[in-house]
């Protein structure tokens, strides 16, 4: 039979062991979550990284192309997550069971790797994910900002009001003229004093002015000038398709992809940095994501289904070409985008805000030439220009035009 003393001691040992176990257990469950930073600055940095790099495929709360990132730090430890984000293919190829299963579950879609990210940067994304999980608010529907803001486009209404006003004015004038002529004929049939009759016969204000020869001359001159100017302007725009925005076979939206989901232009227009042509993506590129996303917030399944039809029937999607220079002109994308570092938006406008792409610039020869006259060569870090810069030391900036950018043969075959 144990003494009172030893029972007490056993109890002490038990308490110590129990509390050790408790603290160990809770640490194991929350170790990762508590290692995720929670300060506002890191969360903000993570938010912008997430939106620029991950949002196309991930959401915090729900499955998109990849898994919901909610609580991912409870599923795997941080070093694993860092390694996976930097190079997912490597982790999967290494035979990591969790990664392989995930890859299978997600239809073998390869997540893009982010080898340039540091552990801190990935940690900040997790901080943002954790913040979104803990302070979960009902997500705003992604469509909210897609709806046209009526205040932002008042022009149709303004035009309608102006035209309506003009029509009313013309009708009023006609009615007034009719009243005048009725009154005149009524009065001429009544007995009036000589003085009154003279007064009525006298041409009144408006009609007198209208019969004034000088005024008629001026009006004719002005009208002729306006018509001539309009005709000349119209002749200059023959073949110019500025603003052209054809309806496309699939309601593909740059605003959704390049705007909301920040997918890089280069992801789809694969040739733009290395060749003459930018390339329009094949349905296979769409399928990288749409094998998993079969529904859009605005168009439901209808438009995305057309991608599946194209892939199944092996038929190309017949996109309507928007920009088209005549054959006599030569334009090269890589020359401008890669060498000249000209942003797409300079020539194509804010494509990431367009539901339907439209031709933003007029693409005339004058447009090319003017930019070549105004734009300095981008010689920094370009070995090709080192010699040139050396020779012209101290002459200030060197425009494209001065480098031969106005030679007919550069743009014409
Ligand atoms: C092109 C789409 C795509 C992009 C972009 C993308 N991911 Fe993924 N991600 C996936 C897919 C798909 C999976 C599922 C695993 C697989 O199929 O390889 C995944 C899995 C993950 C996992 C593991 C999730 C889990 O439940 O264990 C993490 C963590 C992750 N991604 C983080 C990121 C982060 C952070 C970014 C941005 C820096 C990012 N991903 C960008 C598609 C993407
Ligand atoms: C997810 C794929 C994808 C991304 C990302 C993308 N585009 Fe496109 N782009 C397309 C498709 C498909 C078309 C053809 C259909 C159309 O004209 O809307 C197109 C057409 C265009 C056209 C008109 C081509 C013509 O016919 O003359 C321009 C210009 C363009 N994209 C510029 C951009 C720019 C700039 C970006 C980045 C801000 C971008 N695109 C990002 C898929 C993409
Ligand atoms: C990198 C991933 C990615 C690629 C590549 C991609 N999409 Fe998408 N697409 C998305 C995402 C994300 C959505 C938004 C889904 C939603 O509304 O929830 C989307 C939505 C859509 C929608 C529905 C839009 C709406 O709001 O209803 C259409 C149509 C569509 N994409 C067509 C295309 C076509 C055509 C291509 C190929 C030229 C393409 N996508 C390539 C990610 C992609
Ligand atoms: C210096 C002006 C300029 C810049 C910068 C520019 N483009 Fe273009 N882009 C054009 C012209 C001009 C055409 C018409 C080319 C033709 O018809 O031969 C065009 C055509 C296109 C087309 C239609 C397909 C093709 O290859 O002809 C796409 C897509 C496109 N551009 C995407 C882009 C993207 C994406 C960027 C940025 C990475 C970009 N462009 C930068 C002027 C520009
Ligand atoms: C937004 C400004 C801009 C517009 C618009 C533009 N270019 Fe250029 N272009 C440049 C720049 C910058 C360079 C210089 C690239 C470099 O550093 O070599 C260049 C270079 C060139 C060159 C090579 C010149 C040489 O000396 O080797 C050709 C050819 C050319 N552009 C053709 C065109 C054509 C054709 C158009 C109209 C369809 C056009 N560009 C419109 C900015 C522009
Ligand atoms: C920077 C590029 C560039 C240079 C330099 C250039 N052109 Fe052009 N030119 C174009 C483009 C682009 C077009 C097509 C524009 C259009 O269809 O409106 C064009 C069109 C023309 C046309 C046809 C006009 C028509 O209506 O069909 C002629 C002729 C022409 N250029 C002559 C010249 C001559 C001569 C020179 C040298 C003094 C020259 N170009 C230099 C870009 C250039």
The verdict on residue 301 lying in a domain is yes
pLDDT of residue 242: 80
Running along the chain, 413 residues long, what does each successive block of 10 average in pLDDT? 49 45 40 80 93 86 86 91 93 93 84 89 94 70 37 55 87 88 80 74 62 79 87 71 87 93 90 90 92 89 94 92 92 91 92 93 92 84 73 73 87 87
pLDDT of residue 394: 65
pLDDT of residue 249: 93
User: 61: closest CA among 50, 48, 52?
Assistant: 50
pLDDT of residue 137: 60
Indicate if 28 and 63 belong to the same structural domain: no
Indicate if 79 and 24 belong to the same structural domain: no
Cα of 359 vs centre of ligand 4, distance in Å, is 10
Indicate if 108 and 42 belong to the same structural domain: yes
The residue contributing the CA closest to ligand 3 atom 41 is 286
Indicate if 262 and 357 belong to the same structural domain: yes
CATH number, domain containing residue 87: 1.10.760.10
Indicate if 116 and 99 belong to the same structural domain: yes
Name 51's Cβ contacts closer than 8 Å, sequence gap at least 6. 262
Cα of 321 vs centre of ligand 2, distance in Å, is 10
**CB neighbours (10 Å) of residue 103?**
19
Indicate if 12 and 112 belong to the same structural domain: no
Indicate if 20 and 133 belong to the same structural domain: no
pLDDT of residue 237: 64
The verdict on residue 172 lying in a domain is no
Q: Which of 139, 163, 187 is the last residue of a domain?
A: 139
The verdict on residue 176 lying in a domain is no
Q: Residue 15 burial by CB count (10 A; 0-12/13-18/19+): exposed, middle or buried? A: exposed
Q: Residue 338 burial by CB count (10 A; 0-12/13-18/19+): exposed, middle or buried? A: middle
The verdict on residue 164 lying in a domain is no
Cα of 280 vs centre of ligand 2, distance in Å, is 7
The domain tally of the chain equals: 3
Distance CA(284)–CA(175), nearest Å, equals: 66
pLDDT of residue 306: 94
Indicate if 125 and 78 belong to the same structural domain: yes
The verdict on residue 188 lying in a domain is no
Indicate if 27 and 122 belong to the same structural domain: no
User: Which residue segment(s) compose the domain that 8 sits in?
Assistant: 1-35
Distance CA(48)–CA(124), nearest Å, equals: 10
Indicate if 26 and 48 belong to the same structural domain: no
The verdict on residue 80 lying in a domain is yes
The residue contributing the CA closest to ligand 2 atom 23 is 322
Indicate if 26 and 42 belong to the same structural domain: no
The residue contributing the CA closest to ligand 4 atom 17 is 324
- Ligand 3 close to Cβ of residue 253 (< 6 A): yes
Q: Closest ligand 4 atom to the C-alpha of 346?
A: 5
Cα of 296 vs centre of ligand 3, distance in Å, is 7
Cα of 385 vs centre of ligand 1, distance in Å, is 42
Q: Closest ligand 1 atom to the C-alpha of 92?
A: 18
Q: What crossing angle do the helices spanning 119-134 and 40-53 adopt, rounded to 10°?
A: 100
The verdict on residue 382 lying in a domain is no
Cα of 267 vs centre of ligand 2, distance in Å, is 10
Mutate to test the pocket of ligand 3, among 139, 268, 293 (most ligand atoms within 8 A of CB): 293
pLDDT of residue 10: 54
The verdict on residue 100 lying in a domain is yes
- Ligand 1 close to Cβ of residue 101 (< 6 A): no
Indicate if 356 and 275 belong to the same structural domain: yes
């Amino acid at each position: 039979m144990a003494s009172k003393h030893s029972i007490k001691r056993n109890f002490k040992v038990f308490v110590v062991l129990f509390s050790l176990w408790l603290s160990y257990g809770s640490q194991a469950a929350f170790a990762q979550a508590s290692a995720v930073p929670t300060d506002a600055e890191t969360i903000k940095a993570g938010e912008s990284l997430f939106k620029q790099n991950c949002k196309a495929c991930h959401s915090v709360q729900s499955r998109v192309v990849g898994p919901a990132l909610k609580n991912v730090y409870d599923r795997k430890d941080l070093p694993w997550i860092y390694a996976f984000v930097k190079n997912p293919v490597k982790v999967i190829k290494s035979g990591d069971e969790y990664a392989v299963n995930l890859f299978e579950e997600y239809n073998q879609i390869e997540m893009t790797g982010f080898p340039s990210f540091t552990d801190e940067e990935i940690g900040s994304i997790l901080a943002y994910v954790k913040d979104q999980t803990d302070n979960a608010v009902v997500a705003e529907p992604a469509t909210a900002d897609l709806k046209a803001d009526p205040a932002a486009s008042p022009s149709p209404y303004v035009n309608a009001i102006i035209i309506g006003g003009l029509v009313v004015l013309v009708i009023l004038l006609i009615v007034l003229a009719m009243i005048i002529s009725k009154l005149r004929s009524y009065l001429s049939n009544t007995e009036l004093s000589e003085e009154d009759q003279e007064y009525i016969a006298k041409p009144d204000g408006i009609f007198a002015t209208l019969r004034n020869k000088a005024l008629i001359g001026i009006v004719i001159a002005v009208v002729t000038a306006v018509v001539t100017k309009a005709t000349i302007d119209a002749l200059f725009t023959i073949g110019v398709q500025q603003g052209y925005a054809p309806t496309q076979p699939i309601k593909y939206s740059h605003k959704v992809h390049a705007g909301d989901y920040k997918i890089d232009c280069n992801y789809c227009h694969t040739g733009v940095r290395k060749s003459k042509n930018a390339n329009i993506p094949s349905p296979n590129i769409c399928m990288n994501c749409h094998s998993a996303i079969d529904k859009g917030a605005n168009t439901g399944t209808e438009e995305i289904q057309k991608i599946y039809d194209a892939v199944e029937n092996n038929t190309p999607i017949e996109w309507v070409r928007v920009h088209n220079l005549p054959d006599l002109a030569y334009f090269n994308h890589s020359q401008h985008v890669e060498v000249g570092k000209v942003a797409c938006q300079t020539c194509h406008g804010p494509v990431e805000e367009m539901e339907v792409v439209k031709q933003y610039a007029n693409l005339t020869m004058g447009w090319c030439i003017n930019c070549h006259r105004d734009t300095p060569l981008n010689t920094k870090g370009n070995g090709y220009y080192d010699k040139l810069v050396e020779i012209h030391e101290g002459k200030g900036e060197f425009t494209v035009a001065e480098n031969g950018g106005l030679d007919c043969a550069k743009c014409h075959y």
